[in-house]
Structure 1
C-alpha cells in the first residue's frame, strides 16, 4: 500500500462554542457546524480542539495508568482476560485482536457501557473487568463521562451542520441518548521492521463517532482519502482525532463516508479511543434531511443487531462474538 503522505492536513475544529452553552453565540456555533459538515463530506476525519473543555493533564494521567498496567507480568494482566466474561469486556493479549483475518500488533482493554442484568454467557452482555492499578477505574470513569458529554455535543453540532431543525435533532438525539459506548485502552509495542502486517490493519469504524486521544508517536495513525492517498493523522497538542463511523453514513444516505484508517506504530506508546455509539436498540435509517444520494441505497438497521454481526471475528480466542474497535 505504500507509505503515508505527511503533506496533507486534516481540518482542526474547536468545539468550544458548543461546550460552553452560556457564552457562545449563534454565529460561532453555525461556523463550527459548517466546518464539521465540510470535514465529514470531504474527509470523514478531523481534529477536535478540546483545549478549552478538558484539562489536558487528565488524558496524560490516563496514559500513565495504561503504561503501568501493560507493564505488569502477563499472568497479572490475564486475570481480566476476555474469557473470564463475555469475550468482549476485558484484556486482550498481543496479537489477539484480528483485523481482516490478520493479527494486530497491539494489546488492549475494552470497557463497554454497563448493562442491566449482566450475563457473561450472552455476547456483549457481561460485566466490565477493571485493572487493580491504583486509581485506574476512578480516573477512567471520569474520562468516560466527559467523552459521553462531548459525543452528545458533537452530535448536536453535526446535526445542525447537516441542516436539521430542532425537532429533527430531538428525534436523532433519542437514538443516541443511551449510547452503547465503548472505550479501548491500547498498548502498542514497536512494530518490528520486518513485520509484514500492521499494528492495526486497515478498517472502518462501524459505530457513530470515534474520539481518540492519540499518543505522541508520529506517522502511526494513517487515513485513506478519496484521492486514493494515505495521509498521516499525527497528534496535535490540545486536540483529539475524530472520525465518523458507518452509522453516520447510513443517517446521511452516503453523503458522509466512514473512512478507512490503519495504525503502523514504530514507537512504544498508548492511546485511548472512546467510541460514542447509538443506543443498542436504536433503529438507524437515512434521515429525511439527508435527501437522496445517487447510486446509494442504505437500508435501516437496528444498531445492536448490526454490532453483533460485525464483531464476531475480531478476536483469535473463542468463536463467541466479542467487540473491537480500532
Structure 2
C-alpha cells in the first residue's frame, strides 16, 4: 500500500495551553479544538515547546547510540527474562514480513527496581554513572511531560481532572522507556509490524532519518517527517477505550530502507498497573454516546495481548456492540 506524500502530523504548541485548571472559554478555544480534532481523526499529533531540555535530549541520544555500538556479546548480557525489559536483538525478515529493530527497554521501578542502573551494570561492569544520571533525568522529564499532556486530553474530553476516574489515570500509572535502533548495515528493507500501542499514550522522540508511518481512517499509510525539537504523541488502546472511542488509537509502523545513517527512536509509554480499571467516566455516557467497551483491567488487556500478539486490534475485542 502506497504512503501519502506531503502530509504530516497536526502541530500542537504546548505553550499556548494553561497549566492549571481551565474554564469553558478555554476549552472552546482554537488550541483545544485542534487538539481534539487531532485525537479524533488521526490519533497522532506533534508537540513543540514541551519544556524538555534540548541539551539533555542530545546527550542522551549520543549515549544511547554509543550503547548500541557495543559488541553483540556485551549487549546480550543485558537480556532479561522479564517482559519488555533489557536488550532485544534485531530480527530482519523479507520485505513482506515483519521486522524488529535492536531495542533496549528500561521499565519503571515496580517491574525492575533501579532498572537503568541494573541494565547499565550488565553492559559496563565497572559502572557508567553519567549514562545512568542522564537517562534517569530524561525518564523523569518525559514522565512529567506525559502527565501534562494527559491532563490536557482529559480536560479536552470535558472530564473534571480532580474526579476519581481521572485521578486514577495518574495515581495508578507508570512509564516504560524503549529505545529502537535500526542499523544502516542491513541489506534488506525493514518494515516493522503494523500495530497499535496498548498503553494510554506514547511520547516518541525520533532522529532526522524518518520512516514513521501512520494508517489513516481511510486505510492509507501516511508518512511523518521528523521535525527537530519536537515529540510525536499518539493515543493508545487504553485511552481509546477510556474515552469511549472518542479518541483514536491508530495503527503505525516504521519503514527503514537503505540509508547512510543509523535510525534511533526513543519511545516513552504512559501505562498502568495491572489492577487499573479501564472504564469510561459516567459524564461521557449519554443516549447519543452509550458505553462502547467492557469494563476491564490493564491485566486483562495484557493477557489478551500476550495470547494473540500485537497484530490484532485490542479495543475491538472488548467492544460491547
CA distance in 2, matches of 1:191, 1:232: 23
Structure 2 counterpart of 1:205: 197
Alignment of 1:25-64 (within 5 A): 30-50=29-49, 53-64=51-62
SS of 1:299's equivalent?
A: coil
SS of 2:173's equivalent?
A: coil
SS of 2:256's equivalent?
A: coil
Structure 1 counterpart of 2:256: 265
Between the two proteins, the alignment pairs up a number of residues equal to 295
Tell me, yes or no, if the aligned pair for 2:203 and 2:268 is still in contact at 8 Å. yes
Tell me, yes or no, if the aligned pair for 1:191 and 1:265 is still in contact at 8 Å. no
Structure 1 counterpart of 2:314: none
CA distance in 1, matches of 2:309, 2:61: 24
Structure 2 counterpart of 1:320: none
The 1:25/1:235 distance shift into structure 2, 3 A limit, reads: farther
TM-score, normalising length: structure 2 = 0.81
1:185 aligns with 2:179: yes
Alignment of 1:243-254 (within 5 A): 243-254=234-245
Tell me, yes or no, if the aligned pair for 1:255 and 1:290 is still in contact at 8 Å. no
SS of 2:53's equivalent?
A: coil
Tell me, yes or no, if the aligned pair for 1:251 and 1:290 is still in contact at 8 Å. no
The 1:41/1:308 distance shift into structure 2, 3 A limit, reads: same
1:251-288: CA deviations, max 9, x gaps? 12112121000001234121101011134321011222
CA shift, 1:245, in A, is 0.3
Tell me, yes or no, if the aligned pair for 1:281 and 1:302 is still in contact at 8 Å. yes
1:7-60: CA deviations, max 9, x gaps? 2221100122457559x9996675443322111011100001135x12212211
Structure 2 counterpart of 1:214: 206
> Of 91, 102, 118, which aligns to 2:87?
91
The 1:194/1:140 distance shift into structure 2, 3 A limit, reads: closer
> Of 162, 166, 176, which aligns to 1:172?
166
CA shift, 1:305, in A, is 3.4
Alignment of 1:1-326 (within 5 A): 1-2=1-2, 4-18=3-17, 30-50=29-49, 53-83=51-81, 86-95=82-91, 104-115=99-110, 128=115, 129-131=118-120, 132=124, 133=128, 135-168=130-163, 170-190=164-184, 192=186, 194-195=188-189, 198=191, 200-218=192-210, 220-266=211-257, 267=259, 268-291=262-285, 297-311=292-306
Q: Which ranges of structure 2 fall in alignment gaps of 5 or more residues?
A: 311-321
The 1:14/1:107 distance shift into structure 2, 3 A limit, reads: same
Tell me, yes or no, if the aligned pair for 2:165 and 2:281 is still in contact at 8 Å. no
CA shift, 1:289, in A, is 3.2
Tell me, yes or no, if the aligned pair for 2:36 and 2:156 is still in contact at 8 Å. yes
CA shift, 1:149, in A, is 1.0
CA shift, 1:291, in A, is 3.0
Moved more, 177-186 or 36-45: 177-186
Tell me how large the CA RMSD over aligned residues is. Answer: 3.0
Tell me, yes or no, if the aligned pair for 1:89 and 1:127 is still in contact at 8 Å. no
